[in-house]
Amino acid sequence: MAEDRDLYPSTADTQKTAESGTCPYETGNAGELHQTPGDAPTLTTAQGVPVADDQNTLRGGERGPALMEDFHFREKIFHFDHERIPERVVHARGYGAHGYFECTEAIPELTSASLFQEAGSKVPAFVRFSTVAGNKGSFDLARDVRGFAVKLYTEEGNWDLVGNNIPVFFIQDPIKFPDLIHSVKAEPDRGFPQAQSAHDNFWDFISLMPESMHMVMWTMSDRAIPRSFRFMEGFGVHTFRLVNAEGKSHFVKFHWKPKLGLQSVVWDEAVKINGADPDFHRRDLWDAIRNGDFPEWELGVQIFDDAFADKFDFDVLDATKLIPEEDCPVRIIGRLVLDRTVDNFFAETEQVAFCTQNIVPGIDFTNDPLLQGRNFSYLDTQTKRLGGPNFTHIPINAPKCPMHHFQQDGHMAMHNPTGRANYEPNSWSKGGPRADPRRGFKSYPEELEGTKRRLRPESFADHYSQARQFYISQTKVEQDHIANGLTFELSKCVVEDIRLRVLSHLQLIDGDLAQKVADGLGHDLPEPATPARAPVDLKPSDKLSILKNGPSSFKGRKLGILVSDGMDRAVYDALVEAVEAEGGMVEVVAPKVGGVTASDGSKLAANQKIDGGPSVLYDAVAVVVSTQGAAALAGMLPGKQFLSDAFGHSKFIAMTPEAATLLEASGVNGTDEGMMTLRSPADAPAFVKACRAVRFWQREA
């Protein structure tokens, strides 16, 4: 069987072919929805039979019974009844986009992987971002790990790097994965809570699994509430191998670094965003790509050898540990650009099947037990979720390089080779493909020895040192957020023993942190836990902080401008110009979605009505209103909250002098350097420049 990329047109094209006609409902062609019936293709059944009436079922008599012979009705309902497939058992809620990976620095001395052989070479990519715990219909800003799964369609097969936005994991051994996921998902008797770890079962499990302490510090930090998929890092987590053409191997850890810098929201904002726009992250990605502001990440590698691994404080096969960038620098070798939204959510984002076992020649696994366990789980789960072994025939999963193999039949087989030879070896003259030892995948011939046992190695025993390193690497603001996150989550645990058990672990991480959380909960500190191995002090690492790695401009960010009738149009225009010059976006929020009339008589359309456009949706806000407009907004709760929330979330705020009434009504007392007055259009650029820092954190302090 031979396939090539021409066999894999975009979903919309596939749909066209499948329906043997043009599809009138392609995304982006909404205008075609309004074509006259005369221009539209004839509706048919799935069998291709033209349909005469799609409004009424077939009946016996005007008010008589529906008839079983109505094959159009039965086929339509039958297909509808089967539209859903099982959602992913974890990472059910996700959003994908297409793009490409470009090699920017060739590394043939490290790997024979085809995509790293030549600077400037590109391969197509598909990326799916996700939350872990929530159901498919849950909200985007849950406090949770974000999946960062990348499928790279290389010339030598698909390479899936199925990572997260956090470089470590909760557990060391895959046999604990079902327990971890059971504990974080809705409790089985009551079916709640949805998409959150703030409940007894999760903290009960965590407090009994000290190896999770490092990851818990990350999930209680603002890393777990990213502002956008575009502003977060991705990590391959495990140690992998790169193997060059001579068979020499190096260890590698993979990093995706967002070009726009790191940014998260604050917890109160996350809670409110979930109400205001549960699709906040997916909408953000969609809007950015549709606006041509293509998100981009650099691919970095940490390369090290056995000698480094041997002298490293921890085991490089332990997925609960990272290698600080200060100890092993990240070398940038490529870039990932997402430049195309999906045509069909189900066909692409829902049916994409990532498998950690999908690697290509030049890349190999290590003995990280978690990675080895994942290699079983992903293939297995796809078979169940997508209905059989032929999920690789689905366009989004199919390689875009030639394929030749003897796999055949099964449910929904789409690639059905012709000819007689379906086994190997055979003696037919065109007997099909053969293995090629010169270019085929070869596993790195690592020497193995040992006794068959179930065990946790001694080198995996330190569970607290890197958790402490993470905490002391944060700014004061970030440390406070971690303490608040822990306090909030534990306050949702009904059972006091669970809270106390977590406090006993926190003392081994950082005494001040433990005390802050204990104070927040209203508990005395219990005895510290007894560690399997005493923690050691490690140097702080700046790369672990979000705020130390924030943006350098307002690019990719959004300014929300609250306007009213009688507003100063020139000030508004100057703001828009300054934001656009920076590469940012503007959204107009008005008392009515129909927009406003400015003082010069010009009309301004609105993107949001005030109660649908709270300030939590924006990175910074401006209020450009007339005196009357300010007074009217001051009489509306959403008007007041627009400013009070922006202030409470440490955002930069600019206001025309007329906004004073609204400011007063919103309960914000006084001003600070994060608040600026727009006396004239000339003030706009300075405000937007200040917004580069994204938050005015001094206010929180």
CA distance 383 to 529: 42
CA distance 482 to 546: 12
Helix/strand number for the chain, H first, E second: 19, 18
Identity of the residue, 215 or 634, whose beta carbon is nearer to ligand HDD in the bound complex: 215
With binding defined as CB under 6 A, does residue 491 bind ligand HDD? no
Nearest distance, CB of residue 174 and ligand HDD, angstroms: 4
- The contacts of residue 349 (CB under 8 Å, 6+ apart) are 94, 95, 96, 128, 342
164 flagged as catalytic: yes
Binding segment for ligand HDD (CB under 6 A), chosen from 366-374, 443-451, 474-482, 526-534, is 366-374
**Which position among 164, 165, 358, 390 bears the catalytic label?**
164
Nearest distance, CB of residue 235 and ligand HDD, angstroms: 7
Angle formed by the axes of helices 200-207 and 177-184, nearest 10°: 150
> Which helix (DSSP H) or strand (DSSP E) does residue 370 occupy?
helix 369-386
Identity of the residue, 297 or 696, whose beta carbon is nearer to ligand HDD in the bound complex: 297
How many residues sit in the footprint of ligand HDD (CB under 6 A)?
Answer: 26
Nearest distance, CB of residue 381 and ligand HDD, angstroms: 4
The residues in 603-622 that bind ligand HDD, with binding defined as CB under 6 A, are: none
**Distance, C-alpha 692 to centroid of its chain:** 23
Identity of the residue, 133 or 225, whose beta carbon is nearer to ligand HDD in the bound complex: 133
* Contact present, 656 and 599 (Cβ < 8 Å): no
Nearest distance, CB of residue 166 and ligand HDD, angstroms: 8
With binding defined as CB under 6 A, does residue 164 bind ligand HDD? yes
With binding defined as CB under 6 A, does residue 297 bind ligand HDD? no
Identity of the residue, 96 or 639, whose beta carbon is nearer to ligand HDD in the bound complex: 96
Q: Is 143 annotated as a binding residue?
A: no
In 3-state terms the chain splits into helix, strand, coil percentages (rounded to 5) of: 35, 15, 50
Identity of the residue, 322 or 694, whose beta carbon is nearer to ligand HDD in the bound complex: 322
Q: Write each residue from 91 to 110 as x if it is in contact with ligand HDD (CB under 6 A), else as -, in one continuous string.
A: x--x----------------
With binding defined as CB under 6 A, does residue 149 bind ligand HDD? yes
Nearest Cα residue to 334 out of 564, 578, 519, 150: 150
Could you write out the three-class secondary structure of 120-146?
CCEEEEEEEEEECCCCCCCCCCCCCCE
**Which position among 91, 250, 255, 649 bears the catalytic label?**
91
Q: Is 251 annotated as a binding residue?
A: no
Among 95, 101, 153, 354, binds ligand HDD (CB under 6 A): 354
**DSSP result, 311-348:** HSSS-TT-TT----TTTSPPEEEEEEEEEEE-S-HIII
Nearest distance, CB of residue 597 and ligand HDD, angstroms: 47
Q: Is 128 annotated as a binding residue?
A: yes
Among 224, 370, 621, 654, binds ligand HDD (CB under 6 A): 370
621 vs 300, 477, 587, 649, 676, CA distance in Å? 34, 21, 10, 11, 11
291 flagged as catalytic: no
Identity of the residue, 399 or 614, whose beta carbon is nearer to ligand HDD in the bound complex: 399
Identity of the residue, 79 or 84, whose beta carbon is nearer to ligand HDD in the bound complex: 84
Identity of the residue, 467 or 643, whose beta carbon is nearer to ligand HDD in the bound complex: 467
Binding segment for ligand HDD (CB under 6 A), chosen from 86-94, 195-203, 325-333, 520-528, is 86-94
With binding defined as CB under 6 A, does residue 377 bind ligand HDD? yes
As to burial, measured by CB atoms within 10 angstroms (0-12 exposed, 13-18 middle, 19+ buried), residue 527 is: exposed
CA distance 679 to 577: 16
Q: Is 499 annotated as a binding residue?
A: no
Minimal CB distance residue for ligand HDD? 147
Identity of the residue, 140 or 568, whose beta carbon is nearer to ligand HDD in the bound complex: 140
* Contact present, 98 and 345 (Cβ < 8 Å): no
Nearest distance, CB of residue 167 and ligand HDD, angstroms: 9
* Contact present, 521 and 492 (Cβ < 8 Å): no
CA distance 358 to 148: 15
Nearest Cα residue to 642 out of 673, 671, 609: 609
User: Roughly how many angstroms between the first and final C-alpha of the chain, as a whole number?
Assistant: 65
* Contact present, 288 and 258 (Cβ < 8 Å): no
With binding defined as CB under 6 A, does residue 482 bind ligand HDD? no
Name the 3-class secondary structure at 154: strand
With binding defined as CB under 6 A, does residue 396 bind ligand HDD? no
Among 72, 93, 128, 649, binds ligand HDD (CB under 6 A): 128
Nearest Cα residue to 310 out of 264, 253, 251, 362: 251
With binding defined as CB under 6 A, does residue 237 bind ligand HDD? yes
Name the 3-class secondary structure at 196: coil
With binding defined as CB under 6 A, does residue 345 bind ligand HDD? no
Name the 3-class secondary structure at 442: coil
With binding defined as CB under 6 A, does residue 90 bind ligand HDD? yes
Among 319, 386, 547, 663, binds ligand HDD (CB under 6 A): 319
Q: Is 80 annotated as a binding residue?
A: no
The annotation places the binding site for heme at 88, 128, 177, 374, 378, 385
- Catalogue the active-site residues: 91, 164
| Residues in contact with ligand HDD by the rule CB under 6 A | 88-91, 94, 128, 130, 147, 149, 162-164, 169, 174, 177, 237, 319, 352, 354, 370, 373-374, 377-378, 381-382
The annotation places the binding site at 88, 128, 177, 374, 378, 385
